[in-house]
Amino acid sequence: MSTSPPNNRPDPDDLLARVQAEEKQRERGHLKIFFGYAAGVGKTYAMLEAAHQRKAEGMDVVVGYVETHKRMETENMLRGLEVIQSKTITYRNIQLKEMDIDQVLERRPRLVLVDELAHTNAPGSRHAKRYQDVEELISAGINVYTTLNIQHLESLNDVVAQITGTKVRETIPDRVIDEVTDIELIDLPTDELLNRLREGKVYIPEQAERAIEKFFRQGNLTALRELTMRRAAERVDDQMLDYMGKRAIPGPWPARERLLVCVSPGAASERLIRAARRLADELKAEWNAIFVETPQQIRMTAEQRDRVDRMLRLAEELGAKSITIPGQSVAETVTNYARNQNITKIIIGKSQRSRWSELLRGSVADQLIHQSGPIDVYFVNSESQPSLKQPERYWQPHRPWRRYFWGIALVAGATGLCALVAPYISPTNLVVIYLLSTVVAAVFLGRGPAILTSVLSVVAFDFFFVPPSLTLAVSDTEYILTFFGLLSVSLVISYLTAQVREQADAAQRREAQTAALYELGHDLTAAVGLEAVAKTIIDHIGQIYSREVALFLPENNDLKLYMASQDLSVAENELAVASWAFEHNQQAGRGTDTLPDASMHYQPLKTTRGIIGVLGIKPLGINTYLSPDQQRILDAFANQVALAIEGAQLVEHARQTELLEATEKLQTALLNSISHDLRTPLVSITGALSSLEEAGPALDEEVRKSLIETAREEAERLNRLVGNLLDITRLEAGAMQLHREACDVQELIGSALEQIGTPLKDRQVNVEMSPKIPLVPLDFVLFSRVLVNVIDNALKYSPLEKPIDIRARASKQDLEISIADRGEGVPVDDLERIFDKFYRVQRPDNVSGTGLGLSICKGIVEAHNGCIRAENRHGGGVIFTIRVPLEGTDNQ
C-alpha cells in the first residue's frame, strides 16, 4: 500500500460521488458475480443453488442464459426454474445460441441468471459482449446473477497469462467488477479440482486439450487461486473503505496521487498500461495515458498508428484519460504535461532501442530522469516479444526514387557550378556551394535525398576539387577537417530542415481540424432556422471527416431522419440503431461495442436538457475505429451541434410563443371592435321600437315614420354586417368553397348592380365592356358579391354627383374588371392596407361600414387565383382593378 502521509479528512467531493453512486444503485439492478479461479470450480452450480433459494423466498427468478455443457448435475439444477428461450443467430452457416435480451426485458423478472459474463456475442447481436447485455439489464432495474473466471479480468489478463502460459482473449473491463454490488468467491481446493478433471466432470472444449493440460497443473492452479482470493479481498477492502467513506469515518485516506503512463507504438505498451492500472488501483490514484507525436511518429505505418489508437482506447477503458500531444522530444513534452497536470508519478517502459541509437541520442529514460524534477519515474520491464519491426529511421520506402535522382542531379549541378568558379575561389570556399545544394535538397526533396546529397557532396568535393584532383586521396590533411565540417553541417541541416518540414505538415493538419471546428462554430451562429443549421452541420462534418453524415431528430418521441448528405440513403435497421443510441445516450454502431455491424457510427447529441438527437457518420475507408483524438473532436462537434440545434429549436419555440401572444392580443381587439359594431345598430332599433311602444299613438305621424325608417335601415345595416362577418369567418376557416361555372361578365355586373339597389338611385354608373369577352369560370354568387362590395365602396366614398366607371376587358390569359370613382382618393400608404380586415381610412365624415368589405373581396378574388389592387386615379379618385385568370375556357 502507499507510504505517503495519510490525510484524515474525508473529501467532500468524494462523499457526494458516493451518495450519487448509491442513488444510482437504487434505481439500477444489483449485480452479483460468482467468481472463481478456473473452469470447473462450481460457479454455475452455486449460482443455480442461490437462484433456487431466492425462488423459495418468493422472488421472481428467471434463467436468461445458462451453459450446462451437458453436465448432469447442472442440468438437474435447472429443473424448476423458468427458462427464457434463447435466440438463434446464424453466422457463416453455423447456428449459434445467444440470450434473447429483449425477451428478458419484456418479461421483467426480479432476478435473471446470465452465465459467463465474459462471453463474446455472435455477430448480429445487439451488443458485442455479454457484459454489455448485462449492463443493459441492470439499467432496466433487473437484478442479475452471473459467473466469471479470474483470467477474464482486463487488468489481470497478462498476470494470468504469465502464470498459465496461455492468454485468454475474452476480457471484460475492470470497471464492471468495480460497480458490482456483490462478489461471491467460489473456491475449491486444487486437489479436488484436479480430481474432478480426471473424473471428466470439468468441461473442456475439444480444441483446447493440450492447452488445458498445461493449464491444469498444480502450481498454476494454486497461483490462480491465490490471485483470485486476493482480488476478491481487494473488493472487500474497497467495500470497507466505501462504508467508512459514506459514514465520514476518518481513516487512513491515501494522498491524491496522479499517474501518467507513456504509450509508444511498441508491443510492450499493453502490458505497461495494465501495470499502470494496477498501480493506480493500489494507490487509489487517477491516471492518464499520453502519446507524444514526434516527427518520427508522424511517419508511423498504419498498423502502428492503429496499435497506438487501440492502446489509448484500452487505457480509457481501464479508467484513464488519454491524450495525444505533438512535440519535438518525448521527454520534454511528457514532463511539461506532467507538471501542468500535477502528475506525481510517471510510468514508462524500459527502452527498446539499440545501444547505438541510445548513445547517439540519449534515451528517453535518461532525459526523463533529468527533466522530471520532483516527479517519480517508474520503469516497467517489458517482455521483449517479437514485435513489429520499427521502421528504419532513415529509410523511406514510400518516397519516390525520383527524388534521389534529383539529389544526385543537384550534386552534379553544384559540381558544375564549382568548376566554373574554381579558378577564382579557393577550394575551401567551394564548400559553400555544396552546402547550398544540401539545403535545397533538404527543403525540397526530403530527408533521405538530403542525406545522400550531403555524402555525395563530400565525395564530389574531394574528387574534383581537392588536390590531387580526380582522386579520393587528400594531399593536405587539413581538408579532412573540411570534409568533416561539410558532412556534419550538411547532415544537421538535412535533419533539421526535414524535421521542421514534417512538423509544419503535422501542425497544418492539426490547424486544419481546428479551423474546421472554428468554421463550424462560426457558420452555425450565422445559420438561422433549424434547416439551415442542419445543412451547415452536414456539410461541415462531411467535409472534415470526409464521410457521409446523417442527422436524426425526434418527432413525437420517435426518432426520424431529418437530413442527410446527398446520395446517402438510410435503411430501416440503421434507424433502429440510431434510436437505440438515442434512448440509451450511448454511442452505437460501427466502431463501438454495440451493434458494431451497423454501417454508420451513431453519436448522441446531448445538452443540459437531455438528448436532443443523433448524428450518424458513415466511414468511407477500412478504418473502423475512430482514434481517441478523432473521437474527442467528434465529441466537441457533437456538443456544438447539439447546442446549435437546441438553439434553433428554442428560437422557433420563442417565435411561435410570440406569435401566439400577438394573435391573442389581436383577437381581443377584434372581438371588442365587432362587439361594438354589432351593438350600435341594435341601439337604434331597440330605441325606435321601444319609443313606438311607449308613446304609441301620441307620436306625430312624421316622427313615427322616421322612427320606423331608422329601425329598418339599421336592421339592414346589421344584416349586412352579419353577412360580412360570416363571409370573413368562412374565408379564414378555409370553408369557403368555390362553385365555379361559366359566367357571363355582363350578367355578373348587372347582377351586382341589381343587388346594390337603393344606393344606386340618382347615381350615374357607366359600364363599358369590350366585345368578345368569353365566359369565365367563376363562382357567380361570390364574385358578384366582390363587385357589390367594391362598387358600394366607390359609391360611399365619392360625392353624389360624380359618376362611377366600370370597365371590363379580357386579354389572352386574364379577365380584368376595373371600378373607378371620382372621390378623394386614398393616401398612398393605405393603398394596400385598405384590404386589411377592419381597416377604415380615417375620414372627417364618419362613413359607416365595418372595414370588412374589401378584405372579403381580396379573399374571394385570391381564392380564384386572381388579384385585386387599388390605385389613385389621375384627376382624383380611386380605381380598383380585379384580375382573374381565364384558365379553363375550353369548357365551352
User: Which positions lie near another protein, rule CB under 8 A?
Assistant: 715, 719, 723, 726, 739, 741-744, 746-747, 749-751, 753-755, 765, 767, 769, 775, 780-781, 784, 891-892
CB-count burial class (<10 Å; 0-12, 13-18, 19+) for 79:
exposed
Q: CA quadruple 454, 458, 464, 466: dihedral positive or negative? A: positive
Q: Of 795, 797, 801, 802, which is closest to residue 824 (Cα–Cα)?
A: 797
Q: Which is nearer to another protein, 168 or 765 (CB)?
A: 765
262 Cβ partners below 8 Å, 6+ apart? 272, 289, 290, 291, 292, 330, 334, 346, 347, 348, 349
Q: Which is nearer to another protein, 98 or 727 (CB)?
A: 727
Output the nine-digit C-alpha cell for 238.
Answer: 474497497
Alpha-carbon gap, residue 148 to 47, rounded angstroms = 11
Tell me how far, at minimum, the Cβ of 739 lies from another protein, in Å.
Answer: 8
What is the separation of C-alpha 557 from the centre of its chain, rounded to a whole number of angstroms?
18
Tell me how far, at minimum, the Cβ of 611 lies from another protein, in Å.
Answer: 52
- Give the 3-state secondary structure of 540-573: HHHHHHCCEEEEEEEECCEEEEEEECCCCCCCHH
- Cα 412 to Cα 222, 485, 486, distances in angstroms: 73, 20, 16
Q: Are 330 and 186 a contacting pair, CB within 8 Å?
A: no
Q: CA quadruple 20, 26, 27, 29: dihedral positive or negative? A: positive
The 3-state DSSP class for residue 391 equals: coil
Q: Which is nearer to another protein, 161 or 715 (CB)?
A: 715
Q: Which is nearer to another protein, 257 or 677 (CB)?
A: 677
Q: Which is nearer to another protein, 772 or 874 (CB)?
A: 772
Tell me how far, at minimum, the Cβ of 683 lies from another protein, in Å.
Answer: 18
Tell me how far, at minimum, the Cβ of 822 lies from another protein, in Å.
Answer: 20
Q: Of 719, 791, 806, which is closest to residue 752 (Cα–Cα)?
A: 791
Tell me how far, at minimum, the Cβ of 769 lies from another protein, in Å.
Answer: 7
Tell me how far, at minimum, the Cβ of 820 lies from another protein, in Å.
Answer: 16
Q: At what angle do helices 478-526 and 530-545 cross, to 10 degrees?
A: 160
Q: Which is nearer to another protein, 376 or 741 (CB)?
A: 741
Tell me how far, at minimum, the Cβ of 576 lies from another protein, in Å.
Answer: 52
Tell me how far, at minimum, the Cβ of 884 lies from another protein, in Å.
Answer: 17
Task: Give the 3-state secondary structure percentages of the chain, helix then strand then coil, rounded to 5.
Answer: 55, 15, 30
Q: Are 77 and 45 a contacting pair, CB within 8 Å?
A: yes
User: Could you tell me how many helices (H) and strands (E) the chain has, helices first?
Assistant: 27, 25
Q: Which is nearer to another protein, 328 or 719 (CB)?
A: 719
Neighbours of 28 (CB within 10 A): 18
Tell me how far, at minimum, the Cβ of 833 lies from another protein, in Å.
Answer: 28
Q: Which is nearer to another protein, 548 or 714 (CB)?
A: 714
Tell me how far, at minimum, the Cβ of 698 lies from another protein, in Å.
Answer: 22
Q: Of 180, 63, 169, which is closest to residue 119 (Cα–Cα)?
A: 169
Tell me how far, at minimum, the Cβ of 724 lies from another protein, in Å.
Answer: 11
Q: What are phi and psi of 858, to 5 degrees?
A: -60, -45
The 3-state DSSP class for residue 395 equals: coil
- Cα 189 to Cα 37, 40, 41, 241, distances in angstroms: 11, 11, 9, 30
Q: Which is nearer to another protein, 183 or 778 (CB)?
A: 778
Q: Which is nearer to another protein, 44 or 784 (CB)?
A: 784
Tell me how far, at minimum, the Cβ of 693 lies from another protein, in Å.
Answer: 15
Tell me how far, at minimum, the Cβ of 616 lies from another protein, in Å.
Answer: 54
Q: Which is nearer to another protein, 102 or 732 (CB)?
A: 732
Tell me how far, at minimum, the Cβ of 729 lies from another protein, in Å.
Answer: 11
DSSP string, 727-789: HHHHHHTT-----EEEE-HHHHHHHHHHHH-GGGTT--EEEEE-S-PPPEEEEHHHHHHHHHH
Residue type, 650: L
Output the nine-digit C-alpha cell for 96.
Answer: 449459434
Tell me how far, at minimum, the Cβ of 874 lies from another protein, in Å.
Answer: 25
Q: Of 223, 157, 194, 165, which is closest to residue 40 (Cα–Cα)?
A: 194
The 3-state DSSP class for residue 291 equals: strand
Tell me how far, at minimum, the Cβ of 744 lies from another protein, in Å.
Answer: 5
Q: CA quadruple 846, 847, 849, 854: dihedral positive or negative? A: negative
Q: DSSP secondary-structure letter at 805?
A: E
Q: DSSP secondary-structure letter at 881?
A: E
Alpha-carbon gap, residue 257 to 586, rounded angstroms = 30
Q: Which is nearer to another protein, 352 or 755 (CB)?
A: 755
- Cα 67 to Cα 37, 59, 81, 125, distances in angstroms: 18, 22, 14, 18
- Cα 645 to Cα 202, 391, 562, 614, distances in angstroms: 58, 47, 12, 11
Q: Which is nearer to another protein, 298 or 775 (CB)?
A: 775
**What are residue 809's DSSP bridge partners?**
816
Tell me how far, at minimum, the Cβ of 807 lies from another protein, in Å.
Answer: 11
Tell me how far, at minimum, the Cβ of 637 lies from another protein, in Å.
Answer: 59
Q: Of 431, 501, 486, 481, which is closest to residue 454 (Cα–Cα)?
A: 486
Q: Which is nearer to another protein, 31 or 856 (CB)?
A: 856
403 Cβ partners below 8 Å, 6+ apart? 445, 446, 448, 449
